[in-house]
Amino acid sequence: MNSSVIWILVTIGFTTSIVLSLPPVVKIGAIFTEDQENSAVELAFKYAVYKINKDKKLLPRTSLVYDIQYVPRDDSFHASKRACKLVNFGVQAMFGPSDPVLGAHIHSICDALDIPHLEARPDLESEFREFAINLYPAQHLLNAAFQDVMAFLNWTRVAIVYEGDYGIIKLRELIRATNTDLEVHLRQTDLDSYRAVLKEIKTKEIHNVVIDTKPENMPHFLKGILQLQMNDYKYHYLFTTFDLEAFDLEDFKYNFVNMTAFRVVDTQDLSVRELLRDMAAFRSGRPDLLPVLNSSYIQAEAALMYDSVYVFALGLQTLEQSHSLAYPNVSCDREQPWDGGLSLINYINMVGLKGLSGPIEFKEGRRIQFKLDLLKLKQHSLVKVGEWRPGFGVNVTDRGAFFEAGTTNVTLVVTTILEQPYVMMRTDPSLIGNDQFEGFCIDLLREIASMVGFEYRIELVPDGKYGVIDLDTGEWNGIVKQLMEKKADLAVGSMTINYARESVIDFTKPFMNLGISILFKVPTPRQARLFSFMNPLAADIWMYVFSAYVLVSATMFVVARFSPHEWHNPHPCEVFNELLENQFSLANSFWFTIGTLMQQGSDLNPKATSTRIVGGIWWFFTLIIISSYTANLAAFLTVERMITPIENAEDLAGQTEIPYGTLESGSTMTFFRDSMIETYRKMWRFMENRKPSVFVSTYEDGIQRVLKGNYAFLMESTMLDYVVQRDCNLTQIGGLLDSKGYGIATPMGSPWRDKISLAILELQEKGEIQMLYDKWWKNTGDTCQRNDKGKESKANSLGVDNIGGVFVVLMCGLAFAVMVAICEFCYNSKKNSIREKRMTNQQSLCSEMGGELCFAMQCRGSRQRPALRRECSKCLNKVAYVKDDNKQTSLSPVLPISP
């Protein structure tokens, strides 16, 4: 009983092992084109079968047997016949061919018969193919890799050159998915039209080219590049082939031609190197069948063929664990599919491994996991400078490799714009080339070129603009456009670093820091007036002082009349004299007030308390007024004053009489256009809507407009310092509105940026940039000689224009006094003449005036005036004053006394 059970179990186990095991021989078929006979692809296929059969761990009880069929290229009829022959042979999988047209026909047969079809060709069909396994990376992922590289290189114009109709189908996703800023030129070519297409690309100045040509035609294409002299650093070629290492690039290595491509086989990997050595040894054992093989390199198609055989073997290994695999009994003549094909293709689709072509993983028959090495042609060979993976994008590990600056004669195109003192033209017409230019930036460029190691050719930007983006079209102009289109390698000048430009081009470290300031014409000094000594007090203050003078004088007169203490006896000796006098008559009151106002005083002294209060208050008033006047007079007469209508940006924004503007298409204009500060936004609205336009095309135009007057120019402070130091009629208003820097611009991703930045930092640390600044800003000999006021001399000496009015007042006062004296003289003479006539009826007016005049003009003469002498003699002839004993005065006749 027990022996029977054991026998049954052994029988069931043996049967199960037979059912679940693979057949001892698995037949596979391969279709190659006739030109691939005895090629590296065939070698890789045979070597993979050989290695799998030798590896007893992979398929221990199964061997692979292959049958290879050769067909003419592009002959789908014979390809179908060969495929049916392999089907009749009983193959359980079919490999190849790599030709897209033939591959499509072979797959249609395999799909109808449920035979797995393993390919290694570009996947041009978007539909899901159930019985196809393609080792070639999915085309949409390859297009994404090309897009990432183009974005890294910041390409804006590109020409795509392709061969055959399938070329445009392969790259259609690349064209559709590119951003709208990329200008794409499509050109289909063949062996006979390479030169014509390349010449057209050169004529249109397109420097970036994507090349998708047949491998066998690649040498002819490279020859066309050499013939048209398109083998210099300005051109960048991106190849879609994975076998750029297989071509002779000797003529391109030392001209710094930018050649970039991907590869799927990492020949630096140790396992890959070992496998290639084994494959070369396998070839050496069969010299009659196999070609010579390079032990350090393998073509991508051969590597993919090797991996496809291993993928099939791993699929068999996985299927063996759970399913059986029966021999196919199918034929092209019958539409009966193979029952085991579906299971086998599903297990193959789940395979994941690391092969010659890197990591392998599939989704619906398409390869979605792989690694592409980014290659760049350097001076000696193609080197790996980065890699690309699906989902991770491009990772460039050697950015400087995209333009290697060696010690050979590399000539860079330097674009610039004429601007004093940065870049200027020499006056000598016989000079040519770089010798035509001079200036701060030219000297700086010469120093940097000697440090970094390159030659250069200076060109002026065609439109004469620095570069600003048009918000409507999104297009750049000026220097920025030249760099974006790779028409220049460097841009040197007063190029401001800002966010918008930095997003499309690269800048070095700033070599100069600056900001926006306001240039304005120096206000004309106010012409000194004759009566400028009255300027310290305003006109209304002078009126108030005069009114106070009149009011105080009148108050003094009235108060003195009311106060009994201001009345006094004119003859103190006569006690009973009833005659009283008041010294503060109306004239004396005005005299007292003006005397104290002039700080000179008078003989009139107030005696009453009330008058003294009036006098004291007036003295306090005059103290303050005279002190204020004296202090302000010094400032007005000794310090030159400029009346500036604007003092800062807020003053400009708050008025509309004085127009102001900036340089057109410059960073200053961009600053106001994009600013979020309300003051600057208000200024931008004014500048944008002002008619006529307040923008100028060059700095020189802006400066000339300022010199004409009634215009303020918003410009960068370094340029402002330059022009202000050379023209005394110009000045800076206010401080800096922002802070930024000048830098040397390069195209996006240029390796020259880092090298030049290091050179700039070194020049700054040595102080050479400051020396260049002093050379072109201060030591040129044409600077403006201003009368700068030192600390010890802050005032100007006074001239006639300042205090001449004082002399005029003095002369007018003297003339007025003389006229009053004459009037008094005439009045007194007339009065004496009338009295003389009344008494003697003899003295006339003319004789009286003559006598008085003669007396007045004599330096020596009688001690008694003529009229008084005559009057006294008459009095003595008549009466004399006699004093009696009763102390009373009486008149008595006396004898005349001779004088």
pLDDT, one tens digit per residue, over 173-194 is 677 655 566 788 888 888 888 8
Quickly state the pLDDT bin for 415 (edges 50, 70, 90): very high
Token pair of 895, please? 């004898």
Q: What are phi and psi of 661, to 5 degrees?
A: -155, -175
Long-range contact list for 593-601, CB < 8 A, 24+ apart? Answer: 593/549, 593/552, 593/553, 593/556, 593/618, 594/549, 596/622, 597/549, 597/622, 597/625, 597/626, 599/626
Query: Rounded to an integer, what distance in angstroms lies between the CA atom of residue 195 and that of residue 228?
Result: 8
Give the per-residue pLDDT at 414.
94
Provide the Cα torsion 783, 789, 793, 795; round to 10°.
120
**What single letter denotes the amino acid at residue 504?**
V
Q: Quick one: pLDDT band at residue 3, thresholds 50, 70, 90?
A: very low
pLDDT for residue 741 is more than 80: yes
Q: Which of 38-52, 365-379, 600-614, 822-836 has the lowest mean pLDDT?
A: 822-836
Higher pLDDT among residues 117 and 408, named by residue: 117
- The residue with tokens 């009688």 is 862
The two structure tokens encoding residue 448: 């940097």
Q: How far is CA 80 from CA 74, 108, 581, in A?
A: 12, 9, 152
Q: What is the pLDDT of residue 121?
A: 85
H-run or E-run covering 812: helix 800-839
SS3 476: strand
pLDDT tens per residue, range 57-96: 888 888 999 999 999 988 888 889 999 999 988 899 999 8
Strand spans (E) along 138-242: 157-162, 183-188, 208-212, 236-239
Closest residue by Cα to residue 113 from 346, 343, 324, 335: 335
Q: How many residues does the chain have?
A: 899
Q: Are strands 183-188 and 157-162 parallel, antiparallel or unpaired?
A: parallel
Query: pLDDT tens digit string along 121-165?
Result: 887 776 778 888 999 988 888 888 988 888 888 788 889 898 877
Output the pLDDT for position 21: 67
Asked if omega into 510 is within 30° of 0 (cis), the reply is no
| Residue 887: band (very low, low, confident or very high) from pLDDT cuts 50, 70, 90 | very low
Instruction: Determine the 3-state secondary structure of 741 from DSSP.
Output: strand
**Distance from C-alpha of 297 to C-alpha of 230, rounded to nearest angstrom:** 28
When pLDDT is averaged across residues 764-775 and rounded to a whole number, the result is 90
* Tokens standing for residue 579: 């005659």
- The answer to whether residue 196 scores a pLDDT higher than 70 is yes
User: How far is residue 378's CA from residue 380's CA, in Å, rounded to a whole number?
Assistant: 6
* Residue 874 confidence (pLDDT): 53
Report the side by side order of strands in the sheet with 372-377: 183-188, 157-162, 208-212, 236-239, 258-263, 372-377, 382-389, 393-396
pLDDT, position 66: 93
pLDDT in tens, 745-759: 998 877 788 889 999
User: Residue 884: pLDDT band by 50, 70, 90 thresholds?
Assistant: very low
Residue 9 has pLDDT above 60, yes or no: no
- 311 φ, ψ to 5°? -60, -40
Q: Where are the beta strands (DSSP E) in 748-894?
A: 880-883, 889-892
Q: Decide: residue 546, CB within 10 A, 0-12 exposed, 13-18 middle, 19+ buried.
A: exposed
Which region holds residue 355: left if phi is over 0, alpha if psi is between -120 and 50, else beta?
A: beta
Give pLDDT, residue 443: 93
Cα–Cα distances in angstroms (integers) from residue 75 to residues 87, 101, 140, 493, 879, in the given order: 19, 9, 28, 62, 172
pLDDT for the residue numbered 640: 52
* pLDDT at residue number 436: 92
Q: What is d(CA 59, CA 83) in angstroms, rounded to the nearest whole number? A: 26
Handedness of CA 32, 36, 38, 43 (dihedral sign): negative
Mean pLDDT of 588-597: 84
What is the structure's pLDDT at 333?
A: 83
What pLDDT was estimated at residue 734? 82
Distance from C-alpha of 739 to C-alpha of 737, rounded to nearest angstrom: 7
Instruction: Kindly report which listed range (65-79, 195-209, 448-462, 796-810) carries the lowest average pLDDT score.
Output: 796-810
How crowded is residue 340: how many other Cβ atoms within 10 Å of its Cβ? 19
Query: What is the structure's pLDDT at 409?
Result: 55
DSSP letter string over 253-278? Answer: HTTT-EEEEEES--TTSHHHHHHHHH
The percent of residues in the chain predicted with pLDDT above 70, rounded, is: 79
What are the tokens at 421?
């003192």
> DSSP assignment, residue 663?
B
Question: Looking at residue 125, what DSSP letter applies?
Answer: -
Q: Is the predicted pLDDT of residue 375 greater than 50, yes or no?
A: yes
pLDDT digits over 537-585, tens only?
788 888 888 888 888 888 878 877 777 677 777 777 766 666 767 788 8
Structure token digits, residue 610:
């009330």
The alpha carbon dihedral of 662, 668, 670, 676 has a sign of: negative
Say how far apart CA 671 and CA 198 lie, in whole Å.
42
Q: Does 727 score more than 70 pLDDT?
A: yes
Q: How confident is the model at residue 442 (pLDDT cuts 50, 70, 90)?
A: very high
Task: Give residue 214's pLDDT band: very low, low, confident or very high (50, 70, 90).
Answer: confident
Query: With b meaning 16 or more CB within 10 Å and e meaning fewer, what string describes 66-100?
Result: bbbbbbeeebbeebbebbeebbeebbbbbbbbbbb
Residue 7: pLDDT above 50?
A: no
E strand or H helix at 716: strand 712-716
Q: Which residue has the tokens 């590289």?
A: 149
Does residue 856 have a pLDDT over 80? no
**Closest to 315 measured CA to CA, from 265, 280, 352:** 352
Q: For the chain, state the CA radius of gyration.
A: 56
Report which of 551, 550, 698, 538 is spatially closest to residue 629, judged by C-alpha positions: 538
821/696: higher pLDDT: 696
Alpha-carbon distance of 163 to 186, in angstroms, equals 11
